[in-house]
Amino acid sequence: MAAKEDLYSKIIPRRLRQNRPGSVKCGSSSLDVLLSMGFPRPRALKALVSTGGRSVQAACDWLFSHVDDPFLDDPLPREFVLYLRPSGPLQNQLSHFWQQSRVTCGKNKAHNIFPHITLCQFFMCADHKVEALCEALQAAVQQWRGRFPSPLPLELYTSSNFIGLFVEEQVADVLKQFAADFATEAVRKAEVHVEPHKKQLHVTLAYNFPTNHLPSLEKLAKGIEVKLGCDWLAVLFSRDIRFANHETLRVITSEGWVNGTSLASGLSGLLPENYVSLADESDTWVFHGGGGGSILHTLESHSKLGMFDGLLDGRRPDNTSPGDTPTLSLICHPMQVLLRFHSRQPKRTLFVCRHGERMDVVFGKHWLSLCSDSKGKYVRSNLNMPSSLPLWGGQRDYDMDAPITVFGSTQARLVGEALLESNTVIDFMYCSPSLRCVQTAQNILKGLQQDGKLKVRVEPGLFEWTKWVSGNSLPAWIPPTDLAAAHFSVDTSYRPVIPVSKLTVSEPYETYMSRSYQVTKDILSDCKNTGNNVLIVAHASSLEACTRQLQGHSPQNPKDFIQVVRKIPYLGFCSCEEQGDTGVWQLVDPPILPLTHGPNHSFDWRETLLQE
């Protein structure tokens, strides 16, 4: 320790040593001081951002502790999030609930993050833009300060695995507008894209807990007086992108064998799992105190910001409870925060799959005449024709809505079995309204052994480019209620993102790509926090249309798009993975092998073998 202090005394300028850390005089910014000490600009910026800009001393400590960090010079952006944090009497009650629920029922997922209202999704920001980002928040706060009702109207909601306080809808719309204004400022000042939170605004009290804990948690939640005074603070937190979606552990001793990375030094190491305990996810987050402030009470904003800065320096005002502290201040030596390389919760993944082999492609556009007798009954004339068709004899548009072949069903089951063997869990399944897609989804469920357990959501917005539809009208698809009556595992309560009535014939290419992208985004948004893996069963074009813009790319021109689509076979399968909780997605290797199959022409033994 003495050697480290000697090293500091040689490097840190005299004017910095003579003052309290962080109180640099002569008009010098913290960055200027670090640069004058000889640190490269990228490292100085990273140190300041990684410590929330608290002080030069904190940045120096961070730099010296990360001198062997293999990622120290990598230009990795950090992930940021904007929250509303309560303070005052309501915060004290929430802290009491947090502590009592932990004592009574143990830790649940809500304990991973302190009480808050989410105003935007996690987003990326490079180190050199963070100062401008904080200025953007400050500008938004100044515009909105004092314009919200006090106290914020909250209503308790409970279900079998979730308890929370929801913001009254009209007030929630006002808060969302504040978030939208911040997003606008972030683009203008920092060129950073921020996506405001679109779901119902709420404070999560408990979720993902055992059902038998509900009565105790509900009783504790009802004891929270939601009308108590509260100063809501708009605050930015950030985290190292390497640690997103990884398990957070608190080291109790310095020995061991868990493979992890230290938040304190950035170094990787081993320690025994017996000598660690679970920590909260937000223990690895950094508070950025320069940009936000109270948006409900103008007079208290400076003292509240001072309180947050003090807590991050390890100090606590006398009138606050331990639950008020940003959790980073709880991490002190000899304890460290380590992160396992293997995530407890896998990344969110979108799978997109083409339907199976079509009857009209195999047997020609007049295939119906090959399997209808003189009385109009369905007759199987080839082994690759299904033994029966759903709802045959009704007013079904099989000419324009062809089913899949027997081999198409086999292809789909093979994919489902492969997903099962790879231990891939499908949490939600969506499909185009085309019968060939519904049948493919059903057979994938059979291979997954989820037939009758997982319900398929039929989404008209996933239908292929309508320019490819022959005739002047769309197919007359079988409604979900009729599909369910025919024993298809479909969700009859599902309300489509885009109903059939909104689809038009011969839509422009730009409309199709925009429709596919919007539907995919809405599906992923609806499924967030309730499942990691979503499977879309649709058309060859869907593999490109549902994933390209999700990755941040612009649509290709129609000619190149068509060339891509022609290369996608039946049951073509792709995987797109979310990079942290950022809204950024990337194509990755699927969890299953590809399915290759070739043409098999109809075989007439008479014509081939019976020759004279």
Active site residues: 354-355, 539
Centre a 10 Å sphere on the Cβ of residue 458 and count the other Cβ atoms it contains.
25
DSSP designation for 300: G
Q: Are 259 and 102 in contact (CB under 8 A)?
A: no
End-to-end CA distance of the chain: 101
The residue count for the chain: 612
User: What residues pair up with 3 in beta bridges, in sequence order?
Assistant: none
Describe the crossing of helices 130-144 and 41-50 by its angle, rounded to 10 degrees: 40
Query: What is the bridge-based pairing of β-strands 162-167 and 268-269?
Result: unpaired
Query: What is the bridge-based pairing of β-strands 585-588 and 573-578?
Result: antiparallel
**Rounded Cα–Cα distance for residues 144 and 130 (Å):** 21
**Cα angle for residues 346, 351, 353 (degrees, 5° grid):** 160
Q: Are 454 and 488 in contact (CB under 8 A)?
A: no
Centre a 10 Å sphere on the Cβ of residue 448 and count the other Cβ atoms it contains.
22
| C-alpha distances out from residue 217 to 55, 95, 98, 188, Å | 40, 14, 10, 44
**Rounded Cα–Cα distance for residues 257 and 274 (Å):** 9
Side chain identity, residue 382: N
Query: What is the bridge-based pairing of β-strands 428-431 and 533-538?
Result: parallel
Instruction: Report residue 132 as tokens.
Output: 């401008």
Q: Are 179 and 119 in contact (CB under 8 A)?
A: yes
DSSP designation for 179: H
Closest CA to 368 of 343, 389, 391: 389
Burial class (CB in 10 A: 0-12, 13-18, 19+), 35: middle
Centre a 10 Å sphere on the Cβ of residue 449 and count the other Cβ atoms it contains.
12
Query: What is the bridge-based pairing of β-strands 233-240 and 286-294?
Result: antiparallel
Query: What is the bridge-based pairing of β-strands 533-538 and 349-354?
Result: parallel
Which residues are documented as binding site for substrate? 436
**Rounded Cα–Cα distance for residues 139 and 172 (Å):** 20
Q: Are 447 and 419 in contact (CB under 8 A)?
A: yes
User: What residues pair up with 533 in beta bridges, in sequence order?
Assistant: 349
Closest CA to 351 of 599, 574, 59: 574
CA-atom Rg of the chain in angstroms:
29
**Cα angle for residues 528, 158, 99 (degrees, 5° grid):** 90
Describe the crossing of helices 130-144 and 169-190 by its angle, rounded to 10 degrees: 140
Secondary structure element (H or E) that encloses residue 357, with its range: none
Q: Are 240 and 284 in contact (CB under 8 A)?
A: yes
**Rounded Cα–Cα distance for residues 202 and 226 (Å):** 12
